[in-house]
Amino acid sequence: MVAPRIGYHSKQSRSRSINDFRNADDVTFHLDNLPIVAFPTLRAMDDVSLYFNQRCSKCRTAQGLLEAQGIDAHIVEYLAAPPTVEDLRILMTQLGMDDPRLMMRTGEEVYATLGLADRSGDELLEAIAANPILLERPIVVRQGRAVIARPPERLFELVNT
């Protein structure tokens, strides 16, 4: 391990030592020589993600519950960056579901407008990808498993294991 260089660099005299006390007011700390040290959050290894909509009170409650547990979840703003059909398939697997309708907000106006009650499978996934408001929320993902946090306390099924 290389020790960090902490030195006093004089602009006037190059003949003095790099650590010359007479240049104590001109301190340079070389961060590039420090070993990289990570300071993880309490549960940083858990890699918790939260599918989040700021306008949803249950999402805000879920975020607050995670923060109270010391968990700094990765926020997935799915309305701004909609998931792909493949992302949704993975999410279904993590949720342990085989019917996309189980992770859909069937009460949304766009659900009725698109006539999704008569559709199934990939058509529903494509509808969610095109209209992410149809994705149920909040969804918490941790270590390859997911839960729809309705009520928000359901997230403890993942974070307390």
Catalytic residue numbers? 56
* Contact yes or no for 109/57 (Cβ under 8 A): no
* CA max distance for the chain: 84
Residue count (the chain): 161
Q: Which contacts qualify for 8-14: CB closer than 8 Å, 24 or more apart?
A: none
Instruction: Let me know if 67 is exposed, middle or buried by CB neighbors in 10 A (0-12, 13-18, 19+).
Output: exposed
